[in-house]
Every structure is written in C-alpha cells, then in structure tokens.
C-alpha cells in the first residue's frame, strides 16, 4: 500500500491572478488553500501525519487479522463494486468454486491461511527529518531500519548521486525503490543502484518506471539492457499512478527487451 503526505514540486512557487505563493507541498508540510497562511510550512504537520498514519495502519491490522479478509467472505466484498455487479458476482462464484476444490484437498475455510492476510506499506523518502526520527537500530544486528514504512523509494527530484536522500537510504536496510522516468540516464541508474545496493542483494532494489506508455517502448529497453549488462539484480515494475498498471516483477537477468 503506497501513500504520502508530502509531495515534491518542480517549482517552489505557485502563481494565480498575479499572486505568488509558496507551492503546496502536501499536508505534512503546508495547506492546500491558496492563501499566505496556509502555505507557511509547519513542522507540527509531520506529527499529525504520523498519528493519522498510525490510526490507519491499526485499522488495517484489525481488518487483516480479524477475518475481514477471510476468503469465505468474498461475496461480501462488494461495497465498491456496484457498477460492476455482474462481473464481480462472476468472479466471486469462481472464487467459491476454487475454495470448494481446496476444501476437498484438506485446506478448509477456517485454516489461518484463509482467514488473515498481510500487507506492506511504502512511500517516498522525502522529508528527511521525519524519516530520521523513525529510524531505529536493530540491537541484535546493529543494522538500521526506517520504521516509517516497509519500503521506501527515491524520486525524480531526490535521486542525486551525492544527495542527502540517497545517502540516507544507503544506510538503512529497507527495500528501496527507484523512480525512473524518461529522463533517467542508463549510466546514472547503474551508479545509483551500485550506491544503494553495493552487495547486489536480491530484493533490495525495485526500479519503478514512470514514463508513460508513449515513452516506455523507446526508453525502457535501454535501462533494462544497462542493468542486465552490469549484472545488477533488480525488480522492475511500472508506476500505477502514471497510466500504467503494476506488472509482474521480472528478473533483470531474464527480462525480455522490447523490440
């Protein structure tokens, strides 16, 4: 599950009808309303963002472990499917058939695997004071983990090779995502991966392509080829918020190049 209360901006200012104000940078920084008071950065917003995130995660944990995710309740998961009722009912019936088959094989509906689920969280590593405040040292291994999320990613505006964000992510053990747009240079991507994953550990790096369908065929093959030739191990996905659905991860050593 991905989300963020802070947003990077290409320009520090926004102008309307001749009035120029500091840009809106997300609720963890300032307000959306176009007035001078709302646009003043307020560090207390990070605390409010944290408490709201904690409340949300606690609710999700209650659902995930309280049999709300039980497969036998699939026919009740239709609150948001009113417009696709027939299609959803067909899917639910297929799930019921699959459950019947698994029950015949001994995996009954009351098995723990069928009643609970796990979820993981992710957001961009943007506000370093927030991330640093939630970073902890593992007393058994001596390694550091950023407890603000399971997976963190570095974005287009924060992936400078000698920048503070990359330096911070280099020091934590979380899985790391790298946003790659059509502006990403293959050589820069190789250097960035090497900084964040010098031991070439599988699962450490996910390259999240965000370049739109029109650029995907032209730009992505060069990035895949460069990573493959370097021998680096990464997972490739596309950003679902940019007109593409997340695809199945591919091993960079066997990823087919687009023709």
219 annotated as belonging to a binding site for a ligand: no
Write the burial class of residue 214 (CB in 10 Å: 0-12 exposed, 13-18 middle, 19+ buried): exposed
Burial class (CB in 10 A: 0-12, 13-18, 19+), 222: middle
Annotated binding residue 179: yes
191 is in an annotated binding site: no
Annotated binding site: 156-157, 179, 210, 242
Annotated binding site for Mn(2+): 242
Annotated binding site for phosphoenolpyruvate: 156-157, 179, 210
């Amino acid at each position: 599950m991905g989300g963020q209360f802070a947003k990077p901006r290409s320009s520090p200012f926004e102008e309307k009808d001749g009035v120029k104000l500091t840009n809106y940078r997300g609720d963890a920084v300032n307000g959306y309303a176009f007035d001078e008071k709302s646009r003043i950065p307020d560090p207390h917003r990070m605390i409010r963002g944290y408490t709201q995130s904690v409340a949300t995660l606690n609710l999700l944990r209650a659902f995930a472990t309280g049999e709300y995710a039980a497969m036998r309740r699939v026919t009740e998961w239709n609150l948001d499917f009113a417009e696709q009722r027939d299609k959803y009912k067909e899917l639910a019936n297929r799930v019921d058939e699959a459950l019947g088959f698994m029950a015949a094989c001994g995996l009954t509906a009351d098995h723990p695997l069928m009643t609970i689920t796990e979820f993981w969280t992710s957001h961009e590593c943007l506000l370093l004071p927030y991330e640093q405040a939630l970073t902890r040292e593992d007393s058994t291994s001596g390694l550091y983990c950023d407890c603000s999320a399971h997976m963190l990613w570095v974005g287009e505006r924060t992936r400078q090779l000698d920048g503070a964000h990359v330096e911070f992510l280099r020091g934590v053990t979380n899985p790391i995502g790298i946003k790659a747009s059509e502006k990403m240079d293959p050589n820069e991507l190789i250097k960035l991966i090497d900084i964040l994953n010098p031991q070439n550990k599988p699962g450490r790096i996910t390259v999240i392509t965000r370049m739109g369908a029109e650029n995907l065929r032209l730009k992505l093959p060069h990035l895949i080829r460069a990573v493959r030739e370097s021998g680096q191990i990464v997972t490739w996905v596309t950003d679902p918020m940019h007109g593409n659905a997340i695809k199945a991860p591919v091993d960079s050593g066997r990823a087919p190049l687009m023709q």
